[in-house]
Structure 1
C-alpha cells in the first residue's frame, strides 16, 4: 500500500513551457491527499528557490531538497549534509581557471561565481527566477554551510573536475549544468530518511520524476513513475511511464495505480 508520494518539481510538477503546475496536477494531488497519502517534494532545487509550487504548498508534508542534502518536515530537520570547505574552494578555483559560472547553494544564501550569459539564461529561462548577483570570492561564504554547487559545465568538464572533489558526487537533470552534492547523497537516501521519520518503508512510497537526478529514487521506491517527457535512461529506471507534464502526467500516473 502506498503511504507517501514524492514529486520532483521541474519537468514533473511544473511545466518547462508554462512554468506553472497544471490544473490537472493540482486536482490529482489534492485527491491523493484526501485519499490518505502524504505528499512530499523531492527536488534538486534548494529551499530558497522553491517558489513555483505555491498552488499546492498547503498540501505538502515535507521536502527533500538539493538532491537529498537538505530534508525537512516543518521545523524538523531530517537530513543536513554539506560539502567540505576544501571542495567548495576547489570548485571556486576551477570556475575562475576554466572560465565557467557556478552557483553555490548555502543554508543562508546563494552565491554565484564568475556569472556569465549562460548562467543568466539558466536562471531566467529554465528556472524562471530573477537574475542573481556575482559573488566577490569564497570569503563571502565563510560561516555558511554549502549543500550543493551547480556549475555550468559539459560532461567532459565534469569528468575532469570531479576527481579533484573527493568529498562530492555529481548528478544532472540538464545537459547544460551538473549538481555537485556531498558524497553519499541522493534523492533515494533523502526519501529513506523521510520515510523512517514518518514510520513507513521506502517500498511504501511512490515517486514521480523526469531527470537524471531522479533515477535513484525511481529505482528505490515501491512505485517509480517517469514522466513522458523524461530521457530514455530515466524511463528505463521506472516501473511505469506516464504521459508528459503538459499532458496530465501526474493525474494519469496516479489513476494508473488506483491512488485516485
Structure 2
C-alpha cells in the first residue's frame, strides 16, 4: 500500500467512460478498477446518473466501501454494504425548480420533464423512453413537478439539437442553476454551483488526498469542470473538442477501452 500522502483519488465517469452506450462494462475495465483499488488508491464513481442507477455499476466493480458522486454532484453518498439501501447519504444539494420549469415550458412546450426523488426515482410530466431513467416513474401534472425542492431537473426534447439547448439556456440566463447538455437533446439542471467537481473537492478533503494526486476521466460536457479540477484530467478519445480542451490528456475512445490505459498507468 502506498503511504497516505501518495494515495490518489481517481474519479471515473460511467456512461461513455467505464460503460458503453449499450451498457457493457468490459472485463478489462473491471480488472483495471480492481487493480487500482488493490494498490491502495480511492476510486470514486462520478456520474450524471441517479444514485440508484449507479449502485449496480459499483456492485459490478465490487466497490462496497467508497464514496460515490451522483446526479452531477448534487448527491454524495458513501457505499456501505451494511446499510439498508447499501449506502448512506452524506450530502444532498437541492433547489426550487419552479422558476426554471416555468421558463422552459414556454420555450419547449412539447418537451418531457422529470425531477429526481433521491433513492426512489423520478416524477415526470410524461413517461420517458424505457431505460433512460431508473427507479420508480410517476406521471404527475406539470405543476406538481415543483411541489418541493429537488436535486435535479431533466429535460428531454428530441426536436432540439445540443447547440439549440445551449442557446436556449443562455437566452434564459440560468443564473440560479447549473446546467449540462448531453450528447442528444437532453439537459440536466442542478443547483447553482453544483457540479461533479464541487462534490469531488469535498470528498478529496474528507479523504485527505493532495490536490495534485487527483485523477479524473470523462467524456461529456458535464465532465468539463471535473477534468479541470483534477490534478490530471483525461478526456476519452470520442469526447467533443470542448471536453478534450479541458483535459490534460486524451486517451482512447470508449470502443477502445481508453479508461483502461489510464488506470493501468497509475499502477
Question: Runs of 5+ in structure 1 lacking a partner?
Answer: none
Question: Partners of 1:141 and 1:181 in 2: how far apart?
Answer: 14
**TM-score using structure 2 length:** 0.81
* Distance in 2 between residues matched to 1:131 and 1:72, nearest whole Å: 20
Give the Å deviation of 1:200: 2.0
- Does 2:65 match 1:66? no
Q: Aligned-pair distance for 1:171? A: 0.8
| Contact 1:78–1:197, Cα closer than 8 Å, also in 2 | no
Label 1:36 to 1:176 Cα distance change in 2 as closer, same or farther (>3 A). Answer: same
Deviation at 1:23, TM superposition (A): 0.6
User: Compared with structure 1, are the counterparts of its residues 220 and 132 closer, same or farther at alpha carbon in structure 2 (3 Å cutoff)?
Assistant: same
Deviations 1:184-210 (A, max 9, x none): 111111110111111223332111101
Residues 1:91 and 1:135: Cα distance change in structure 2 (over 3 Å): farther
C-alpha separation between the residues in 2 aligned to 1:60 and 1:10?
Answer: 21
Residue 99 of structure 2 corresponds to 87
In 2: Cα distance, 1:197 partner to 1:223 partner: 19
Question: Partner of 2:84 in structure 1?
Answer: none
Residue 45 (str. 1) matches residue 57 (str. 2): no
Cα-Cα RMSD: 2.7
Distance of aligned partners of 1:131 and 1:7 in 2 relative to their CA distance in 1, 3 Å threshold = same
* CA gap 1:243/1:89 in 2 versus in 1, 3 angstroms: closer
Equivalent of residue 193 in structure 2, options 160, 184, 198: 184
Q: Distance in 2 between matches of 1:248 and 1:139?
A: 42
Match of 2:33 among 29, 36, 40: 29
Write 1 or 2 for the structure with the bigger share of helix: 1
Indicate conservation of the 8 Å contact 1:42/1:64, yes or no. yes
Q: Deviation per CA, 1:65-108: give whole Å up to 9, x if none.
A: 1111111224554432112153365268448x711101211224
Q: TM-score, normalised by structure 1?
A: 0.83
Q: Which residue does 1:142 correspond to in 2? A: 147
Distance change in 2, residues 1:89/1:234 (3 Å): closer
Contact 1:168/1:183, CA 8 A, preserved across alignment: yes
Measure the CA separation in 2 of the matches of 1:80 and 1:5. Answer: 22
Give the Å deviation of 1:241. Answer: 1.1
Q: Is the 8 A contact 1:38 1:60 kept in 2?
A: no
Is 1:20 paired with 2:47? no
Gapped runs of 5+ residues in structure 2? Answer: 1-5, 80-86
Answer yes or no: is the 8 Å Cα contact 1:111–1:141 preserved in 2.
Answer: no
**Count of aligned residue pairs for this structure pair:** 248
Which piece of structure 1 moves more, 40-49 or 25-34? Answer: 40-49
- 2:245 maps to 236
Matched, 1:199 2:204: no
Deviates more, 1:132-141 or 1:20-29: 132-141
- Are residues 1:156 and 2:164 paired? yes
